[in-house]
Amino acid sequence: MIEIKIFYFNDLRECTYVLWDQTKECVIVDPGCHTDSEKSRLKKFIEENELKPVKLLNTHGHFDHIMGNAYVQAQWDVPCYIHPLDKPHLERAQTYSELFGYKIEQPSVDTIDLEDGQKIEFGDSYLFVLYTPGHTRGGVSFYNDLQKFVITGDALFAGSIGRTDLPGGDYDVLMESLLGKIVKLGGDYDVYPGHGPATTIVKELQTNPFLRYE
């Protein structure tokens, strides 16, 4: 069984996820740890629970979700997975971060491409990749069909959806990702977003103004 730990990191309160099972192998999704204190919190949790990081997964390449990429890879020597259409965000990560007043360590651009339907394995568990562009060109979600949960990055939030006014954003494409892919996973799926509290697909269909059916 997959267990999930949520961290809220950096000034934008980005959600970083650690997922692991009984083997103690784990994956780290969207490490947004920026300060030394945040990095220490992540390291302390992993060490105290005797976890072994094996993969770093990025839902997309915006700076608040990859601030800790360099730290995680240096600390645990794990490969980074990201969709190729969002790799340019990694390549220009320092420049993008400085535009918003942050200084970060340049993450590695030696990455492994993610693609729709890909199976990401760790321990005795797995996640499937769901290509969900719209917030960015290369946005993806990660889901598990046995425990019925999906990590949506900045595609879907509790009560809202990702912004589409940044370079690479497209509202129509995002709505297609949400209604044509994420929603179709099933109403009983738990949703773990890139910011804010967890929710469920059925709750969002009932209350999210962007998803409510008239």
Question: From first to last of its 214 residues, what are the pLDDT tens digits of the chain?
Answer: 999 999 999 999 999 999 999 999 999 999 999 999 999 999 999 999 999 999 999 999 999 999 999 999 999 999 999 999 999 999 999 988 888 889 999 999 999 999 999 999 999 999 999 999 999 999 999 999 999 999 999 999 999 999 999 888 999 999 999 999 999 999 999 999 999 999 999 999 999 999 976 4
| Pairwise CA distance, residues 93 & 100, whole Å | 11
Domain CATH code at residue 170 = 3.60.15.10
Q: Is residue 213 part of a domain?
A: no
Q: How far apart are CA 52 and CA 44, in angstroms?
A: 12
Judge contact between 65 and 193, C-beta under 8 A.
no
Angle among Cα 182, 83, 37 to the nearest 5 degrees reads: 90
What is the C-alpha to C-alpha distance for residues 31 and 14, in angstroms, rounded to an integer?
Answer: 9
- Is 80 a member of any domain? yes
Q: Which domain holds residue 98?
A: 3-207
Residue 214, in any domain of the structure: no
**Total domains, the chain:** 1
pTM score, whole prediction: 0.97
Note whether residue 97 is domain-resident.
yes
